[in-house]
Amino acid sequence: MLALTALAHDRSLPQSVVLSAIQAALEHAYKKDANGQEVRVDLDPDTGNTVVRTIKVVVETVEESDLEISLSQAQNHFPDIKIGEEVTTGYIEPDPGRITAQTARQLVLQKLREAERQLVANEYSNKIGEIMSGTISRIEGRDVIVSLGRGEAVMPPQEQVNSEKYRIGQQLKFIILKLDQERRGHEIVVSRSNVDLLKELFVLEVPEINSGIIEIKNIVREPGSRSKIAVNSIQDGIDAVGACVGLRGLRIQNVVNELLGEKIDVIEWSEDPVEFIIKSLSPSEVEKVMLNSTENSAQVTVPESQLSLAIGKDGQNVRLAAKLCGWKVDISSENNMSEVADNEPKTELAKAGIDSNTEELLKVVDVNTIEQIKNMSKDELLGIGGMTENRLKALREIIPSSKPDKTEESSEIKEEIVEKIVSDSEVFSSDDLVEIMENSKSSENEDDDIDEEKTSVGEKDIWNIDSIVKKKSGNSKKGVIRFAEDIDDLKN
């Protein structure tokens, strides 16, 4: 039937779907002539012939005579019939009147629209979170209707950018936000204000992000005005910010153009919160950052000339920086901070010259005095969250440790042994003593894989140098220590 094929083609629907829609519409239209019985329409797609039947369902016990028939009664005409099957009880002449035809036509169109929406919903259900190009087809009230090619989507007011002016025929990129089954007409919801739109635009424009070499750590956005994006390179030698900006700014300019001029700051992510906060406040300069880990806040000091730039218009720059870093950020100028510092009493660590950020890290583990720091080893200090080698080095320059590292202890023990040897032995000349000290120092740089023969020394011979030397070297010459291991054995 040509009409069926043409209708299926125009609607971009399978022919079987169109046929089912027509049958369902005709069944509903003919039902008023069926005296309360159910109607089935058999439509031949090749010839167009239509058969309209009234049917009943076979049951064990009849409760509704217009819809059901008993098994025994049905088997009188159809011996092989079973419970639950349908039997034909009569036929209706397929000659609808004008009203029936109009009703059927409206029902067919309704069924086809439902079928179209269902197919489109099935197609786009797997595209949620993806970016797509669309054309604004019309504006209904405050909703913007977008044609996506296959179907139509709606962009409600809360997903629009206030600064953007939309016009019919305008082509833009949208993010597929969700499928709203409760919305009548347009189930696909798209957005221009969602932060994922900015993320997907960078994925499109920056191959390094798409391949995973550069990762997006966080994005904050005030749609239509300004955004900040933190990126990090997981491969050495790759400049994350440079890759996102592109040669002569080409890549980021393409993103800005898609967002109709929205300003974008690309920030290099850092694990150090102080460094990350400083970068997040760009393009302003930062003099000092004081962290308060307990309150998750940061006091930032900037030059007087940079104060307005750091805060931004209506506080936008500092607001976005705080969201990007996850810290509460308070900004003040150098002059204001100097006045505050003069009025506030200094702590013991501050008086010693320890910077405020290191002091905050120490406070987290309840280290508040110089004596506590002196009694902590290098490993203990490096175990504090946020404590780096550079911070530790600066700290030790101010407060040296009273608890030496293992390597220092080992060196001191060796020196004590040498001193003991010198004091107890009368067989060494001054030249021999010099040789002992030189051999002791050089032993610290020798490889561990020196092939040596271990010799046990009795307790009574522990300080008998001649005996040890003879056993170790096989040389009868007195007063000679050939290896640093000779001194090490004296300790055992």
**Domain boundary, last residue among 149, 169, 193:** 193
Instruction: Say yes or no: 16 and 116 in one domain.
Output: yes
Residue 352 lies in a domain: yes
Q: Is 96 in the same domain as 186? A: no
In a domain, 308, yes or no: no
pLDDT value of position 14? 76
Same domain, 106 and 154: no
Residue 468 confidence (pLDDT): 45
> Which range marks the domain in which residue 458 is found?
407-491
Ranges of the chain whose pLDDT falls below 50: 338-343, 407-409, 418, 421-422, 424-428, 433, 444, 446-492
Q: Is residue 189 part of a domain?
A: yes
- Give CA angle at 407 (404, 411), nearest 5°: 95
Q: What is the CATH number of the domain that holds 365?
A: 1.10.150
Tell me what pLDDT residue 3 has: 67
Residue 273 lies inside a defined structural domain of this protein? no
| 8 Å CB contact between 104 and 29 | yes
Q: What is the CATH number of the domain that holds 139?
A: 2.40.50.140
pLDDT of residue 182: 72
Q: In the chain, pLDDT over 90 holds for what percent of residues?
A: 36
pLDDT of residue 270: 94
Spatial separation of the C-alpha atoms in residues 16 and 276, rounded to whole Å: 60
pLDDT of residue 257: 96
Q: Which two three-digit tokens encode residue 232?
A: 């990090």
Last residue of a domain, one of 82, 97, 120: 120
- On whether residue 382 sits in a domain, the answer given is yes
Last residue of a domain, one of 174, 193, 212: 193
pLDDT recorded at residue 442? 53
Tell me: do 363 and 469 sit in the same domain.
no
How would you classify residue 468: left for phi > 0, otherwise alpha for psi between -120 and 50, otherwise beta? alpha
**What is the number of domains present in the chain?**
4
Whether residue 432 lies inside any domain: the answer is yes
